[in-house]
Structure 1
Amino acid sequence: MLERKQLKGRMQVTFVLPADSPDGPVSVVGDFNNWNPAAHPLQARGDGMRAATVVLPTHSSHSFRYLATGNHWFDDDQADAHDGSNGRVNT
Structure 2
Amino acid sequence: MAIKKQYLKSKPVCKVTFTVPADEAKTVAVVGDFNKWNPKKSTLKKLKNGTFKGTFDLPVENSYEFRYLIDGNYTNDAEADRFQWNDYAGAENAVLEI
So what's the TM-score if we normalise by structure 1?
A: 0.87
Q: Name the residue aligned to 2:53.
A: 51
What is the percent sequence identity of the aligned residues? 36
So what's the TM-score if we normalise by structure 2?
A: 0.81
| Number of residues of Structure 1 aligned to a counterpart in Structure 2 | 89
Specify which of 14, 17, 25 is matched with residue 11 of structure 1. 14
CA distance in 1, matches of 2:16, 2:48: 18
CA distance in 1, matches of 2:25, 2:46: 12
Q: Which runs of 5+ in 1 are unaligned?
A: none
> Computing the radius of gyration over CA atoms, which structure comes out larger, 1 or 2?
2
Instruction: Give the match's secondary structure for 2:34.
Output: helix
Q: 1:21-60 alignment to 2 at 5 Å? A: 23-45=25-47, 48-60=50-62
Q: Name the residue aligned to 1:68.
A: 70
Q: In the superposition, relative to structure 1, how do residues 88 and 9 fare at CA in structure 2: closer, same or farther (>3 Å)?
A: same
CA distance in 1, matches of 2:75, 2:22: 15
**Alignment root-mean-square deviation, CA:** 1.6
Residue pair 2:3, 2:19 contacting (<8 A) in 1 also: yes
